[in-house]
Structure 1
Amino acid sequence: MPEATAATLGDHETVTAWNFFHELIDVLPARSPCDLVLVAHLLPDRPPLLDAYAATGSLKAVIPIEYSTDHVVYEQARAAGIPVTDWQATPTTTGRILQTVREVLRTSDRSLLLMDIGGWCSAAAVTARSEFGDRLLGVVEDTEAGHRVYEKLNLDFPVVSVARSPLKDAEDNLAGHSVIFSVERLTRRLGRPLSGCRVLVLGFGKVGQGVARAALGRGASVDVFDVRSDRRALALTLGYRIPDRAIALREADIIVGCTGNGSLHASDLANLRDGAIVASGSSKRLEFTFPVPIERNSGLPDRIATLTTPSGGRALLVADGEPVNFLDDAVIGPALRLVQGGLLAAAVSVISQRAPKGISDLAPEFLETVSDTWIKHYVRPDGLLK
């Protein structure tokens, strides 16, 4: 494996990530040549991962998600010859993804692996399997929302999900902290720090728990609602209030949706107090089950819009309803590289035909390989992060 240097790659973290990914690729099982199509967050930390994917297979298309695309990274990737689709000319849709997948399979004689985020590729994968058979090797899925999408399908190809992997635990907790960081950065521009506010967290999975913990740490009073009674019970034992949902909505100063499955509905708007701040820790298309009418107001800071309630009041919508932490590049540190290593291992497990048909978690032997390699590159001899 060639060793990366600061002179060739830039900052220390980028060098560390490059070396981690490439050693991991070296120690993972051998694999046959194949093509890759990626749905991707194009953020400043992504270039080493894109390079690692290119070493795993032949990158045929990188399809960026609009709300998580850094324009500088996008232009640099295109200038470097990475086949990034022009999301401004052709917005990312399930139909556009299917068109891309068909083009790749028709113009190449190799098999194809799809790297997915949030189930964007699910329809394309099912269609491609029916049209091209075993040449569609399978899918790797990153998120809980996407995991749920694939769970509902009758799959005759492998889908390896890292969403419920132990590798994700640290990332999900830190993602909650990054959500609250971005929420407070914007609310402070309204003169409203979190301290003393009542924050309602809708959804108490791993990300929701991280959001609640971070909000409490910033001096907020935190209410929790989850459709699962066991999660509400857990929230209560951890010191959070679990009021009736309608009451919680009426009392909340700030509402953060973290279900990944629809947390705020049209019927809820009547319950929002005037001036309530609404943010998504997941995705607009998942957290809000109604069209989001965005009204710009010159008196509000950028990225905060008005959402009119049925009573004529207004709520304030952060980041146009998109995942708020992507405003600050969703930075969570080395834990992200651990998950990205899991994605690489999942890709190899599908390419090397070690993954079963249907949806499955990353196999234990791959988990161990990823974790051992990550510790080697990111942990100092004294046991602390480098």
Structure 2
Amino acid sequence: MESRDRARLDAYFSRIVREHATEAPPSSLLVTHLLPERPAFVRAVGAVTSLKAVLPKPKSVDGHAKREVERLYCVDELSRERFADPEAAVAHVEMRAAGEPVVLLDVGGYFAPSLDALCERFSGRVLGVVEDTENGHKRYAASGKLPCPVVSVARSPLKDPEDYLVGQSVVFSTEALLRDRGDILHGRPALVLGFGKLGSSIARLLHAKGVHVTVYDIDPVRRTQALSQGFSVARDRNRALRSAGVVLCATGALSLRGEDFPELRNGAFVATVTSSEDELELAGLPECYTRSTVAQHMTRYETTGHYFYLLNGGEAVNFLHGASVGPFIHLVQAEIIAGVRALVQGGLGAGVHEVSAAARGSIATTWLHYFNER
């Protein structure tokens, strides 16, 4: 990052911190993608909370960013297994923030399986959770009766630019991997599984590139939206899998089960927008399939009479090229900080909440001041 850009980013977050600081900052644990631009956001979280631990998403860690963050904060290993185990989850939060009020800043619902135990058995007090992603939003919403407030920014209008650009980066990275192997997108019909904000962005860019796109979504409303935008909409999901040359998984949940992989067209490429543990049931793939690396970040799965290719091991394909969405990511990061303030101020009952429209408007105004140069 150029020094001028770094200075502007630091000035932006300094103002966000001033606008959302509280008199009694809580402790916090922060789950985050530790990408090159992320240390500025981490420092901002450390300015509005007592940041006890940074938990980087394991498949999206930039070495330089990690070293920069480690100079200021504890950086702990993150895994689904640790926080799915109530004993391990409580022990970890006790180790970092025993007896203190704490806010859990999440990306993907890592704390959801153990949230009841954390609220009941932690020696301090869990003020609540701030969740960044649609997948995580669904995990918390599916938990039934939540034991504390969860402020979700996943469906915020401030996240729309990020989601749109993430979809664009997914197509870029998918095409780059195919080209590295001497192949192209054109001539390969594409199937987009999921027509939410990411899936619709992917479908639009593929269409703009001249690729024939078919969409499938379990939600009939989204299927009508896709149809109204000129996309083919699959009536039969398995038939669509058998005819697609490229399958892009953008459901934010489980896109392909083990029994779906044999339905794929021979030579199909599969890419995802999030982690393999969320989108793909690779453990359910029939044992007869063998696996081999055929190119960098490309794995061939093969059995008698059938084969397909998996990009980036099933992890988010766009992280191979930085997953950059430019300064628009800082809109959502600021809203996460606003979510912390909402939890500290209190008054939110147990359940899923959003940041107020007034706070979003203030964030957008501040962002425009620093990043709209015209």
Taking structure 1 as the reference length, what is the TM-score of the superposition? 0.89
Q: 1:357 aligns with which of 326, 332, 350?
A: 350
Q: 1:35 aligns with which of 7, 27, 30?
A: 27
Q: C-alpha distance in 2, partners of 1:50/1:312?
A: 50
* Poorly superposed stretches of 4+, deviation over 6 Å: none
Structure 1 residue 72: Cα displacement: 2.6
Partner SS, residue 65 of structure 1:
strand
Structure 1 residue 335: Cα displacement: 1.2
Structure 1 residue 332: Cα displacement: 0.7
**Residues 225 and 150 of structure 1: is their aligned pair in 2 closer, same or farther, counting only changes over 3 Å?**
same
**Residues 97 and 330 of structure 1: is their aligned pair in 2 closer, same or farther, counting only changes over 3 Å?**
farther
Q: 1:297 aligns with which of 292, 302, 316?
A: 292
Mapped pair 1:62 → 2:57: no
**Residues 182 and 366 of structure 1: is their aligned pair in 2 closer, same or farther, counting only changes over 3 Å?**
same
What code does the residue aligned with 1:308 have? E
- What's 2:238 paired with? 246
**Is the CA contact 1:40–1:64 (under 8 Å) kept in the aligned structure 2?**
yes
User: What pairs up with 1:137-216 in 2 under 5 angstroms?
Assistant: 137-153=127-143, 154-216=145-207
Mapped pair 1:314 → 2:320: no
Structure 1 unaligned blocks of 5 or more: 1-8
Structure 1 residue 342: Cα displacement: 0.8
Q: C-alpha distance in 2, partners of 1:292/1:164?
A: 31
**Is the CA contact 2:171–2:206 (under 8 Å) kept in the aligned structure 1?**
yes
Structure 1 residue 148: Cα displacement: 0.8
Moved more, 158-167 or 233-242: 233-242
User: What pairs up with 1:1-386 in 2 under 5 angstroms?
Assistant: 11-28=3-20, 30-78=22-70, 80-86=71-77, 93-94=82-83, 95=85, 97-106=89-98, 109-132=99-122, 135-153=125-143, 154-243=145-234, 244-291=236-283, 297=292, 300-308=294-302, 312-380=305-373, 382=374
Q: Provide the aligned length of Structure 1 versus Structure 2.
A: 366
CA-atom RMSD in angstroms? 2.1
Moved more, 288-297 or 41-50: 288-297
Structure 1 residue 221: Cα displacement: 1.0
What code does the residue aligned with 1:216 have? H
Q: C-alpha distance in 2, partners of 1:120/1:315?
A: 31
What code does the residue aligned with 2:323 have? A
Q: C-alpha distance in 1, partners of 2:53/2:89?
A: 10
Q: C-alpha distance in 1, partners of 2:29/2:59?
A: 19
- What's 1:3 paired with? none
Moved more, 27-36 or 169-178: 27-36
Structure 1 residue 138: Cα displacement: 0.7
Taking structure 2 as the reference length, what is the TM-score of the superposition? 0.92
